[in-house]
Chain A
Amino acid sequence: AQSVTQPDIHITVSEGASLELRCNYSYGATPYLFWYVQSPGQGLQLLLKYFSGDTLVQGIKGFEAEFKRSQSSFNLRKPSVHWSDAAEYFCAVGKLSGAGSYQLTFGKGTKLSVIP
């Protein structure tokens, strides 16, 4: 069965500093990988996704992620964090679950706090 591990429960960075959130996955085939962000009291918003091709993917809000098959990782990065980036970040792997649908398996999330 597929699984996702986000090793860091909580990360605190200063505004303007760079950020890297770690994600490791376990999946038997080519993974479909996603990063979602959840602001307090809000739903989940897709930041970026990887299906195939270029292993460095660009997303919204200045985020990017790099797929490394050899390390089973899909780490999220941002060169300069803004206070508004404070939120919960979820990595997920998608798997086909039947005729026409698929299911996301999420990691447990990493809470990002930003110091002004």
Chain B
Amino acid sequence: DTAVSQTPKYLVTQMGNDKSIKCEQNLGHDTMYWYKQDSKKFLKIMFSYNNKELIINETVPNRFSPKSPDKAHLNLHINSLELGDSAVYFCASSQGWTGLILEQYFGPGTRLTVT
């Protein structure tokens, strides 16, 4: 069973469109994350989310919004796509703070190409 899955794996779209990337985890974790990996392989946190709060990295444009229908899913919606949004987007999950920081488990990534 895949622990953290993302769909689609590849997404090609035009500037100005709105798109969503889905993420599901079957690990029973209560915290999920979105990361962006740019063309130079640099990984940066975009959001972390659990049932308590949403933490947004201040550099993320408000065109990006995470939506969580339930604890096992955290989808990423992107409005008015721009060329600079082209990247690989990774979803991750972890158990929430229990006194120790536990590792995050990553999905396979979604390669978004904006033309």
A interface residues, Cβ below 8 angstroms from B = 32, 34, 36, 38, 42-46, 49, 51, 88, 90, 94, 96-106, 108-109, 111
Contact = CB atoms under 8 A, between A and B. Distances in A.
Contacts, number: 81
Given A101-B97, A102-B97, A109-B41, A43 B31 contact: no
Interface of B: 4, 30-31, 33, 35, 40-45, 48-53, 55, 57, 90, 92, 94, 96-97, 100-101, 103-109
A103 B107 contact: no
B40 A108 contact: yes
A22 B103 CA distance: 20
Interface residues of chain A: helix, strand, loop or mixed (majority): strand
13 contacts: A32-B101, A43-B106, A45-B106, A51-B101, A88-B41, A98-B53, A99-B50, A101-B53, A101-B94, A103-B45, A104-B104, A108-B41, A109-B43
